[in-house]
Amino acid sequence: MSVMSNVVNRIAWDEKGLVPVIAQDANSGNVLMFAWMNREALEQTLILKRAVYFSRSRNRLWFKGEESGHVQHVKAVRMDCDQDVLLLLVEQVGGIACHTGRNNCFFEEYDWDKQDWHVVAPVLKNPDDIYKS
Amino acid sequence: MSVMSNVVNRIAWDEKGLVPVIAQDANSGNVLMFAWMNREALEQTLILKRAVYFSRSRNRLWFKGEESGHVQHVKAVRMDCDQDVLLLLVEQVGGIACHTGRNNCFFEEYDWDKQDWHVVAPVLKNPDDIYKS
């Protein structure tokens, strides 16, 4: 199975050949994380129906869950009005998307009274138990 | 009222002084749009409790709704684990976030059978009626 080039060519890839990607839990609606894809990552995501990102820090494809087991099964891939952002609707294996062991990465919230950030979501699993050596 | 610098300094601003921002409807959970902020945009957002982005195409602050009236009232501002992405929970005035007149910008979805994108959300208001000259 291959991905037709017209699908990937619709995307307005940025100057680095990347597109921003938002992953949302298809069931809870929680925004889980934000990452990037290159062409190959999108193709692999569409073929495998599993989230594959491009890791800018490691400069390689990142098969989400490859170390943690916290795979994201992709139920839908949506594109925005400028064709330069993607939204994935996913089923999050283990209910943990964040490397800190939380459901999602957006766990600090601004407190208008204290005028500072504060943590609003619990650690569900110790990262040391997620990433065993 | 001013925004304490420690709040803005927590953000890992990119090489252009920007941070990606996801806007999510606080009630429906729909991901509405994706945009960028610079320091001033974030400060104005926290002060006004209204979404203020930085428009890269116009190279200036973009007070969301300034032309369309489709203001976003900000209920919460969250920061991710790397401090380099923000998530806004907003009340979307008019129920329309997208300049195409749709609820949100992510209205094209990949169809695995047809292997192509297709539109999955209706136009709620004619853009000609939104952006009157």
Look up the ipTM and state it.
0.96
Range name among A29-38, A49-58, B3-12, B65-74 with the lowest pLDDT average: B3-12
Say which residues have a Cβ less than 8 Å from residue B100's Cβ, sequence separation at least 6: A81, B107, B123, B127
- pLDDT by residue (tens digit) across B25-56? 999 999 999 999 999 999 999 999 999 999 99
> Is B129 marked within a binding site?
no
Q: Is B113 on the interface with A (CB under 8 A)?
A: no
- pLDDT by residue (tens digit) across A64-121? 999 999 999 999 999 999 999 999 999 999 999 999 999 999 999 999 999 999 999 9
- pLDDT by residue (tens digit) across B92-101? 999 999 999 9
Banded model confidence at residue A1, pLDDT cuts 50, 70, 90: low
Q: How far apart are CA A5 and CA A109, in angstroms?
A: 40
Q: How far apart are CA B94 and CA B67, in angstroms?
A: 13
Secondary structure (3-state) at A5: helix
Six-digit token string for A37: 């894809």
Q: How far is CA A128 from the centre of its chain?
A: 21
Number of domains composing chain A: 1
Nearest to A105 among B24, B31, B80 (CB): B80
Nearest to B116 among A6, A49, A116 (CB): A6
CA atoms B42, B43, B44, B47: torsion sign: positive
Distance from CA of B22 to the nearest CA of A (A): 8
pTM given for the model: 0.96
Q: CATH code at B68?
A: 3.10.20.810
Torsion of CA B88, B92, B93, B94, to 10 degrees: 160
Residue-level pLDDT at B133: 57
Nearest to B31 among A31, A106, A112 (CB): A31
Q: How far apart are CA A87 and CA B36, in angstroms?
A: 16
Mark yes or no for CB contact A105/B117 under 8 Å. no
Average confidence (pLDDT) over A54-73: 96
How many CA atoms are closer than 13 Å to the CA of A48, on its beta-carbon side? 16
> Is B105 marked within a binding site?
yes
Distance from CA of A45 to the nearest CA of B (A): 11
pLDDT above 90 for A131: no
| Rounded alpha-carbon distances, angstroms, from residue B8 to B26, B41, B42, B49 | 23, 10, 8, 15
A-chain residues within 8 Å CB-CB of B111? none
Identity (one letter) of the amino acid at A107?
F
Residue-level pLDDT at B1: 56
Domain interval for residue B45: 3-130
Residue-level pLDDT at A132: 74
**More confident position, A101 or B132:** A101
